[in-house]
Each structure stands twice: as structure tokens, then as C-alpha cells.
Amino acid sequence: MNTPSPITGRRPWQRAVVTGGAGFLGSHLCERLLDEGVEVDCVDNLLSGSTANIAHLRDRPGFRFTECDVCDAEQVLALSGPYDLVLHFACPASPVDYLRWPLQTLDVGSTGTRNALLLAARDDARFLLASTSEVYGDPLVHPQREDYWGNVNPVGPRSVYDESKRFSEALVTAHAAQRGVDAGIVRLFNSYGPRMRAHDGRAVPTFISQALAGLPLTVAGDGGQTRSLCYVDDTVDGVLAVAASRSLRPVNIGGTEETTVLEIAQRVLELTGSSSVVEFVERPVDDPGRRRPDTGLARELLGWQPRVGWDEGLKRTITYFTSQFPVDRQTG
């Protein structure tokens, strides 16, 4: 069982709604809030989320799941509440998903965010937007600070996700300024851990599933591009610390250990004992060359910093995938 963050202790909320709550990160947020005595309404349209992620929460007191499309204002405002926390995490987050559903990704970033903000305004709740390091695009500044405006291709294949999140941030800022919504923004970097899907296109689950299946690990380009992995428990700590801070300013939450994609693949091979080989494949368009957050604001404002190193996080994630692998192998 998860325990309350040592940073902020028990949370000041009684009832929360988590949009996208059946997704990878959303399900971990639901679980942590329940562990801390908060009643949770999990809302998801199951486009990229799965009820399997929340199956273990179904019978817990204070938990309720509602299949709901946040782009439908009538459905969202029909949620009973009242809530004192709205965590807006609904959005396809993997390249596989947002490239498959580009219009839905843009819709949830715009209409979905607006509806979630209206819900927060209705109940005078704290609102927190899950934004992303992708708002920095392929950055020309390193590491990336919150005051960096980014280098995003507005018409590239990744733009449906990148620009959706950038617009979400603008919408949150406008609602806070004009309507007084108590709203914050958290920019997440390369979160990973149990409940990621094996084939969602992101490096860690892709490499682990390939290694366990004895398949080549497909590394994009020469693998020299960098990432800063943040284990899901640390991400959840950071998210809830930002929510409790009442800060409106965007806050980076991510790992401080920068490593290359090739190094991640090689370490997965070592930890799994796999005989798989690395296979270099074409690098996707607009794939960021370097990615590392400046987390000084989170450290100074919240006292937050990651506690789980990427090597330990990989071990925990591999343990999860190993337990799931027979199912993954049969179903593909």
C-alpha cells in the first residue's frame, strides 16, 4: 500500500475527481488518494484507459467509477460531487494513442479541459492540469525551466499532443485570471512504472516487453537522445504536492538523472537477462534530442525531489511486466 508523501503529509481534501482515472497515471493517483482517506470519483471514457487498471479499487470504500467523456459538458456537470479537488488527467499520452486519435486528443485538450474547469468552478474546487514536457518541443534550452517557451512544430505529427497541452495551459491560465478558478499546472517528464501498456510506444514498456519476449529492442535513431525517467510513485508525490500548494505557476515534475535511450535499452537487457539484441530503427519526426527538467522550483516551493533512481524504478517495472508477461505474450 502506498503511504502519504513525506513532503506534504495528509492531504486537505475530502472528495476528488480524477479524469482519465483508468489510465496508467490516473489509476495510481486514484489509489494514492484512497490510501490517504480521500473519496475518489474515477472518470474515464476508456479510449486509452482500462478498467483492469482500477479493478483492485472497485470494492474499496469511497471509490466510484463513472464511464464519462469529458468532452461532453452535460456528462461532466452531471457528476454529483461536490468536489474539493479536480485532477484533469484525461488525454491519450503515448505516441501510439495520440497518433491514432489525433482529433480526440485535440478535443480533450480543449473542450475536455474547459469542461473540467467548469466542474471545478461549480464546486469551488482546486483544479490541476496534467501538462507535459512536450510543451517544450525539441528544446533549444537545456535543462528545461518553466519559463522556457519551447520549440514546438505546430503542424508536425506530434503537434496534436504538444499543441493540445499548450492550449490546455492557456485555457487554465485564462480561467484562473478571469473567473478566479483555483487552478494549477504540472508538467510531467517521462513517468513510468507498473500499469503501463506493453505496446504503447514509449521507451520503457516497449524495451521491457521486447526483452521479455526475446525480440530485438528497437532503439530510434542512434539512441543518443536523452530522457529523464521519473518513477510513478515520485510522479504522484509531485502531482499531489503541486495540487496542495495552491500554486498557479507551471511546475516541472520529473527525474533529475538524464540518460540516453540506448543506455535505457542496455540496462533493460542487463536487468532482464534477455539475450535480445538492440536494433536501430528510423527516428520519429520531431523526436526531442534532449529532455531533462530543471526541478528547482519543485524543490524550493514544495520540497519535492525524486526518491527512486531510474535503475531501481526499472527493476520494479520489470517485476510488474514479468508477472503480466504470459498474458501479454498470448494477447499480443
pLDDT of 72 higher than 80: yes
Question: Tens of pLDDT along 85-107?
Answer: 999 999 999 999 999 999 999 99
Question: Tens of pLDDT along 312-332?
Answer: 999 999 999 999 866 444 333
Q: Which residue has the cell 540496462?
A: 267
Assess if residue 106 is contained within a domain. Answer: yes
Closest among 325, 230, 310 to 265, alpha carbons compared = 310
Which pLDDT score, from 0 to 100, does residue 251 have?
A: 98
Per DSSP, the residues of 251-288 read EEE--S-EEEHHHHHHHHHHHHT----EEEEPPPTT--
Length of the chain equals 332
Assess if residue 169 is contained within a domain. Answer: yes
- In the chain, the amino acid numbered 66 is T
Question: Tens of pLDDT along 260-306?
Answer: 999 999 999 999 999 999 999 999 999 999 999 999 999 999 999 99
Which pLDDT score, from 0 to 100, does residue 1 have?
A: 36
C-beta of residue 219 within 8 angstroms of C-beta of residue 271 = no
Tell me if residue 1 falls in helix, strand or coil.
Answer: coil
Which pLDDT score, from 0 to 100, does residue 12 have?
A: 85
Assess if residue 121 is contained within a domain. Answer: yes
pLDDT of 26 higher than 60: yes
- Give the pairing of strands 226-228 and 258-260: antiparallel
Q: Per the residue annotation, which of 83, 98, 136, 161 is the catalytic one? A: 161
Which pLDDT score, from 0 to 100, does residue 326 have?
A: 60
Which pLDDT score, from 0 to 100, does residue 9 have?
A: 52
Confidence (pTM): 0.94
C-alpha cell at 231: 518513477
d(CA 315, CA 313): 5
Question: Tens of pLDDT along 245-271?
Answer: 989 999 999 999 999 999 999 999 999
Question: What is the rounded average pLDDT of the residues 8-37?
Answer: 92
Assess if residue 5 is contained within a domain. Answer: no
151 forms beta bridges with: 137
Question: What is the rounded average pLDDT of the residues 36-63?
Answer: 97
Assess if residue 44 is contained within a domain. Answer: yes
H or E stretch covering 29: helix 24-35
C-beta of residue 24 within 8 angstroms of C-beta of residue 320 = no
Per DSSP, the residues of 64-130 read EEEE--TT-HHHHHTS----SEEEE--S--SHHHHHHSHHHHHHIIIIIHHHHHHHHHHHT-EEEEE
Question: Tens of pLDDT along 186-245?
Answer: 999 999 999 999 988 899 999 999 999 999 999 999 999 999 999 999 999 999 999 999
Closest among 51, 13, 57, 11 to 31, alpha carbons compared = 57
Answer with the residue of higher pLDDT: 9 or 244. 244
Total domains in the fold of the chain: 1
Tell me if residue 158 falls in helix, strand or coil.
Answer: coil
Assess if residue 319 is contained within a domain. Answer: no
240: domain range?
A: 15-192+230-256+290-307
- Give the pairing of strands 39-44 and 278-281: unpaired
Assess if residue 132 is contained within a domain. Answer: yes
Residue 161 annotated as catalytic: yes
d(CA 223, CA 204): 13
Answer with the residue of higher pLDDT: 125 or 332. 125
pLDDT of 3 higher than 50: no
C-beta of residue 213 within 8 angstroms of C-beta of residue 274 = no
Which pLDDT score, from 0 to 100, does residue 51 have?
A: 97
Question: Tens of pLDDT along 134-170?
Answer: 999 999 999 999 999 999 999 999 999 999 999 999 9
The domain that contains 36 carries what CATH number? Answer: 3.40.50.720
Assess if residue 273 is contained within a domain. Answer: no
pLDDT of 11 higher than 90: no
224 forms beta bridges with: none
